[in-house]
Amino acid sequence: MMHRVLKARMAPLALVVLALVVLCAVLAPVLSPFDPNAQDLLTRLSPPQWTGGHLLGTDNLGRDVLSRLIYGARISLFVGLAVALISGTIGALVGIVAGYRGGWADRVLMRLADVQLAFPAILLALAVVAFLGNGLWVVIIVLGVTNWVSYARVARSSVLSLRERDYVLEARAIGVGPATIMRRHLLPNVLASLITIAALNVASAIVVESALSFLGLGVPADIPTWGSMLADGQLYLGTSWWIAVFPGLALMLTALSINITGDAIRDAVDPRTYR
């Protein structure tokens, strides 16, 4: 499977970018040349330069942009993965139960999904953050409980066909109950398609988190995130472009890379897209 992922035109590049982002996130304290929150007002707004240490310049408070960028990767990745994990779990549960049970359970759960889909996630996130105050976990949980619909839809439709397979009948014939059938016979068989959705979900969660942070409603200010860096930098865009441009670039490249990789994984897994 892996070589087919790599064969897609952009996929190798996307994987390299992703690896770089993951590396930054894991090794942030080692890689970053400065403390991301250390202010140095004497060198504020210094442009990117090869000498003098600040490779990507400093922001309006004299904080090193590169170090903040590296630490920001942590938040972005963590938010993305945590959101995908939470919404994937909810979606798989809802979809498998709806698909296997059918009848009224299916109708109720899928109408719930329609309602969720009709309500923009970012609006709900704004409302909840305004109500509960901002925090990393608030953002993660709000995004986690709003993104489950696509998982549920895919899980349900796979289960609709899987439940007619003979091995499900066979499991019933040896006396296995519905909960075990769902967990042991259906879940492993829908996991592959859910992982593909998860890849795309990670990217969208990163972008939404940045949007919230940009609006000042995401992660608290003492944690460097790409979104809040963008917000800080926009005032200085005319004079000190580097403050906003580098986090924007990082955000764009990361989201793009995850999307390309996700597409490539989907193509590799789905036999209909073989070329």
Query: Applying CB under 8 A, what is the total number of residues that bind another protein?
Result: 17
What contacts 24+ positions apart, CB below 8 Å, involve 42-45?
Answer: 45/236, 45/239, 45/240, 45/243
| Alpha carbons 72 and 76: distance in angstroms, whole number | 6
Measure the N-to-C terminal CA separation of the chain; round to a whole number of Å: 14
89 touches another protein (CB under 8 A): no
Buried b (16+ CB within 10 A) or exposed e, 145-156: bbbbbbbbbbbb
Tell me if 222 contacts another protein by CB under 8 A.
no
Tokens linked to 98:
């709806």
What CA dihedral angle connects 235, 229, 142 and 184, to 10 degrees?
A: 150
Residue with tokens 């087919």: 4
Helix, strand, or coil (residue 60): coil
Q: Which is nearer to another protein, 188 or 238 (CB)?
A: 188
The span of 59-67, 138-146, 167-175, 251-259 binding another protein (CB under 8 A) equals 167-175
**Contact between 271 and another protein (CB under 8 A)?**
no
Identify which range of 4-12, 62-70, 168-176, 234-242 contacts another protein by CB under 8 A.
Answer: 168-176
Near another protein by CB under 8 A: residue from 7, 107, 172, 183: 172
Question: Binding another protein by CB under 8 A: which of 50, 175, 238, 274?
Answer: 175
Q: Does 173 bind another protein (CB under 8 A)?
A: yes
Residue 163 CB, shortest distance to another protein, in Å, is 10
Residues 121-150 that bind another protein (CB under 8 A): none
Q: Does 165 bind another protein (CB under 8 A)?
A: yes
Choose the stretch contacting another protein; rule: CB under 8 A; options: 111-119, 133-141, 164-172, 239-247: 164-172
Interface residue with another protein, options 111, 184, 220, 270 (CB under 8 A): 184
Among 118, 166, 271, 272, interactor with another protein by CB under 8 A: 166
- The angle subtended at Cα 60 by Cα 59 and Cα 63, nearest 5°, is 45
Query: Given its phi and psi angles, is residue 103 left (phi above 0), alpha (psi -120 to 50 degrees) or beta?
Result: left
Residue numbers at the binding site for another protein (CB under 8 A): 165-167, 169-177, 180, 184-185, 188-189
